[in-house]
Amino acid sequence: MAGFRRRALGRRARGTGNLHVVSLFLGGAADREVVEVVRRTAVVLVAGALVLLAGCNGDGKSGGSAGGSRSTAAAPATVHLSLADGSADVPPITPLGVSVSGGTLDDVTVVDGAGKQVQGAVADQPSPSPAPSSSAQNVPGATTRVWTPAEPLAYATKYTVTATAHNSARKQAKARATFTTVTPKAQTTPGVGPLDGTTVGVGIPIRVYFDHPVAEANRAEVERHLRVTTSTPTDGVWSWLAADEVHFRPSTYWPAGSDVRLDAELFGIDLGNGVWGKGNRTVSFHVGPKHVSVADAAAHTLQVYDGDRLIQTFPMSAGSNDNPTRNGDHVVLESFRKIVMDSSTFGLAVDAPGGYRADVEYAVRISNNGEFVHAAPWSVGQQGISNVSHGCINLSTENGNWFFNWAQPGDIVTVTNSVGPTLSAQDGDIYDWAIPWDQWRAGSALK
Same domain, 82 and 206: no
Same domain, 406 and 308: yes
70 assigned to some structural domain:
no
Instruction: Report H helices in 377-446.
Output: 397-406, 437-442
Same domain, 295 and 430: yes
Q: Which residues pair with 304 in a beta bridge?
A: 293, 312
Same domain, 199 and 231: yes
Q: How far is CA 135 from CA 77, 81, 175, in A?
A: 18, 9, 12
| Closest alpha carbon to 272 in 241, 239, 244, 238 | 244
66 has pLDDT over 80 = no
In terms of C-beta distances under 8 Å and separation of at least 24 residues, what long-range contacts does 154-157 make, across chains too? 154/92, 154/112, 154/181, 155/92, 155/181, 155/182, 155/183, 155/184, 155/187, 155/276, 156/180, 156/181, 156/182, 156/183, 156/184, 157/92, 157/112, 157/113, 157/181
Geometric angle at alpha carbon 232, from 227 and 235, rounded to 5°: 60
* pLDDT for 59: 42
* pLDDT for 351: 76
CB atoms within 10 A of CB 25: 7
Amino acid code (one letter) for 98:
V
229 has pLDDT over 80 = yes
Total domains, the chain = 4
* pLDDT for 241: 97
CB-side exposure of 147: number of CA atoms within 13 Å?
25
Same domain, 20 and 31: yes
Same domain, 236 and 301: no
* pLDDT for 355: 75
**pLDDT per residue over 235-247, tens digit each?**
999 999 999 999 9
Instruction: Please identify, among 138, 165, 181, the residue that sits at the C-terminal boundary of a domain.
Output: 181
Instruction: Report H helices in 125-251.
Output: 219-224
Mean pLDDT of all residues in the chain?
Answer: 84
61 assigned to some structural domain:
no
Same domain, 280 and 361: no
41 has pLDDT over 80 = no
Strands (E), 138-209: 143-149, 158-166, 172-181, 186-188, 191-193, 199-200, 206-209
* Distance between CA atoms of residues 202 and 61, nearest Å: 84
| Closest alpha carbon to 420 in 407, 408, 434 | 434
90 with 83: CB under 8 angstroms? Answer: yes
Q: How far is CA 141 from CA 99, 281, 344, in A?
A: 10, 40, 73
Instruction: Report the side by side order of strands in the sheet with 172-181.
Output: 87-90, 172-181, 158-166, 104-112
**pLDDT per residue over 395-439, tens digit each?**
999 999 999 999 999 999 999 999 999 999 998 889 999 999 999
pTM of the model as a whole:
0.77
Same domain, 235 and 307: no
Could you give the residue numbers annotated as active site?
A: 374, 392
31 has pLDDT over 50 = no
Residue 47 parent element (H or E): helix 29-57
* Distance between CA atoms of residues 222 and 243, nearest Å: 12
Q: What is the dihedral of CA 38, 39, 40, 46, to 10 degrees?
A: 110
* Distance between CA atoms of residues 207 and 17, nearest Å: 100
> Which CATH number do you get for residue 272?
2.60.40.3710
**pLDDT per residue over 321-375, tens digit each?**
999 999 999 999 999 999 998 877 767 787 777 777 889 999 999 999 989 999 9
Same domain, 278 and 225: yes
Same domain, 84 and 177: yes
58 has pLDDT over 70 = no
* Centroid of chain to Cα 129: 12
Per-residue exposure over 314-333, b if at least 16 CB sit within 10 Å of its own CB, e if not: bbbbbbbeebbbbbbbbbbb
For residue 187, report the phi and psi dihedrals to the nearest 5 degrees: -125, 150
134 has pLDDT over 70 = no
* pLDDT for 349: 81
* pLDDT for 297: 98
* pLDDT for 141: 61
| Position with higher pLDDT, 173 vs 133 | 173
77 has pLDDT over 50 = yes
Q: Which residues pair with 365 in a beta bridge?
A: 334, 372
131 has pLDDT over 50 = no
19 has pLDDT over 70 = no
Could you list the residue range(s) of the whole structural domain that residue 225 is in? 186-288
Instruction: Please identify, among 249, 266, 288, the residue that sits at the C-terminal boundary of a domain.
Output: 288
169 assigned to some structural domain:
yes
